Chain A
Amino acid sequence: MRRNVNPENRTVNLNNTKKIAFKTLGCRLNQYETDALVTDFDKAGYQLVGVDESPDVVVVNTCTVTNQSDQKSRTTISQAARANTNAVVVVTGCMANNFKEKLESQDNITFVVENNRKSSILSLVDAHFSGEILHPDQLPQDVFRYEPVQKSLHTRSAVKIQDGCDNFCTFCIIPMVRGRAVSRPVAEVLESVRKTIENGFKEIVITGVNIGRYEAGEAHFEDLLAQILEVPGDFRVRISSLEPDGFGERFVDLFRHPKLMPHLHLCLQSGSDRTLLRMRRMYDVQQFRKTIKLFRSVYPDFNFTTDIIVGFPGETEDEFQETMDAVKEFNFSHVHTFKYSVRRGTRAERLENHVSEKIKTERSAQIRDLSEKNKKQYFASFLGKTEEVLIEKVTQGIANGYGEHYIPVRFKASGAQKNTVRPVILTEIRGAGENMYLFGELND
């Protein structure tokens, strides 16, 4: 018999002995949404376990931004399902939007839940265990329904302020899988920030799909940010990735606030104006340059990181060279390099002159080499300086964390505890590539 279910009803079931495991792929927004789900399930009495600890429920939060992420998501789903044949397998995230019918037809998946219903997975799973038949399509649609994160898989917690994007960059599948841009009301965001801090987090990351486009009533992104910084408490604020969309002096000024950390991940994607136009990006290299210069004129050691797509359809050798020049000039301390991969249904799929895989691989290697040099140079500029490091974990007496500039730092813990902020004098660059970090000593 089909029964009505009230998804608002989130009572704690003290007799709950069910175990739940999560697997998350992709961006920080996905990570945040998993953390919020962990909080929901924890409050409802579920026990959080690993996928190899015989969970009763496995939630796979997928990503579909590149072909590689599709592949990874598919592998994760089948591994999780194979290892837990009796478990309820819930697949959610962007892949659930992009390949809904295909996933629904797979026997090893119990439920496929689209992004806009993701926050109600607890209602779905609860209903399942109490014998009610509830289809994911009956769950309410609300991209901001998430509880503030309480129990996280991390020390830093995200606060979601916005979802969706309607820029329609020609390579990007996100407008199709995350829907149109919507912003969370200011009061709700501030409440979420307050609760997250009350829950013990020392650092919050402002997250969304295209957060620069935040617009709720009269409030734009800068207005919201200013209000977040005024929330009382001892915490730091970071901004997750941003589109380089016309930021002015007010934004730069906000970084004078001691809570706002001096790092931005500004997505350049290409250093060639022609390529940027084919990508339907909304800025040119000169505007990007202006933003970088403006920041560095006020904060000379400001950390910029970026995303670059190599081998976009029609990218000539000269255009690629312009990207190399831009990466060098802007001195990004880290470049997240993507080899362009076709996403079905995007405009770039139908562009002419697709670039061969071999050239993409070569170009991507060149960017990576350059990025590593940049990183080393940037890290070297911190030797002898002191950074306030938020400790994320302590293993075998070594504390790991990030300084204000979002540089990874390790040091002898000497009793320093996880989730505390400590001054560390930086003495040495260690490791290489993705694993490069600064080593230092406590400098209390």
Chain B
Amino acid sequence: MISMIKHDIKIDESFYKIEEVRQLTDETFSLKLPKARFAFKAGQHISLGIHGDYQSREYSIYSGADDENLEVLVKEVENGYFTPKLRKLKAGDLVEIHGPFGKFGMEPHLAETGKFVFIASGTGIAPFRSMVRTYPEIDYTLIHGVRYSKEAYDRNEYAEDRYVLCSSRDQKGTYQGRLTGYLKNCTFAPETHFYLCGNSDMIFDALEILKDKGFERDQIHCEVYF
């Protein structure tokens, strides 16, 4: 007899086969997956699991909302639980994805008309790549803080005059030093929308600087990774 009770979740919907692992630095890589089977707004994140492992982690979506591939950017954390396992994955392996989640992002009409400053540390650049790919006309400046300039992931995708690289441990950035050092000397239009993404210490310091410059907390949006 056939069961009449419907199961609402189709399990296979959430599994994606890795198409390519793009190695960006020794520690950082992107996982290129098939096109997302869900609609998302640039800036949102997903939770990613490995088949057979009970843990999962959140990752900002690195690709644009209309891109042919869903992509995430991952940095392997030394002694981390999850990223060393992710690092071992190859094209053809399966990952489980749930989402999209989160409110980090802007409404499409604002993306077309607003003025934006994106502030990222390390892999915190991920949601901004998604925004820039989704809204090609967006008026932005991206301030990216890294230790070494090789961590300027996919730098050539950003217009040169919109991308500011702050590298603290080599001389090859637009600015040499922490991004907060750079930020202190900047001036921004009063109506700017700020988006901050990365570790909480950087976000705290950047928030203080922006508040000191007279910006309201309501015009500053934050996505904390750790």
Query: Which residues from chain A sit less than 8 Å from chain B, CB to CB?
Result: 2-7, 138-141, 166, 168, 170, 180, 246, 273-274, 277-278, 280, 282-284, 286-287, 345, 347, 350-351
Contact = CB atoms under 8 A, between A and B. Distances in A.
Contacts of B1: 2-4
B6 A140 contact: yes
Contacts of A141: 8-9
Given A246-B218, A277-B203, A166 B5 contact: no
Contacts of B101: 166, 168, 180
25 contacts: A2-B1, A4-B3, A4-B4, A4-B5, A5-B5, A6-B4, A7-B5, A138-B5, A139-B5, A140-B6, A140-B8, A166-B102, A168-B102, A180-B101, A246-B218, A273-B207, A277-B200, A277-B204, A280-B200, A284-B207, A284-B217, A287-B218, A345-B55, A347-B226, A351-B226
B183 to A, nearest CB: 17
Contacts of B224: 170, 277-278, 280
A180 B204 CA distance: 28
A287 B200 contact: no
B94 interface: no
A282 B223 CA distance: 9
B87 to A, nearest CB: 17
Contacts of A350: 81
B76 interface: no
A402 to B, nearest CB: 34
Interface in B1-36: 1, 3-6, 8-9
Nearest to A6: B4
A-B complex: 5 closest residue pairs judged by Cβ atoms? A166-B101, A277-B200, A280-B224, A138-B5, A4-B4
B58 interface: yes
Contacts of B54: 345
What's the interface size class on B, roughly?
Answer: 20 to 34
B50 interface: no
B222 interface: yes
Interface string B99-136: 00111000000000000000000000000000000000
A180 B38 CA distance: 14
A371 to B, nearest CB: 26
Contacts of B200: 274, 277-278, 280
Contacts of A139: 5
Nearest to A245: B103
Nearest to B205: A274
A6 B6 CA distance: 11
Given A7-B5, A166-B102, A351-B226, 18 more contacts: A2-B1, A3-B1, A4-B3, A5-B5, A6-B4, A139-B5, A140-B6, A140-B8, A168-B101, A273-B207, A274-B200, A278-B224, A282-B103, A282-B222, A283-B217, A287-B218, A347-B226, A350-B81
Interface in B183-207: 200, 203-204, 207
Contact of B222 (A170, A246, A277): A277
Contacts of A283: 217
Nearest to B80: A350
B40 to A, nearest CB: 12
Contacts of A345: 54-55
B121 to A, nearest CB: 13
Nearest to B203: A277
B81 A286 contact: no
Nearest to A246: B218
A353 B4 CA distance: 52
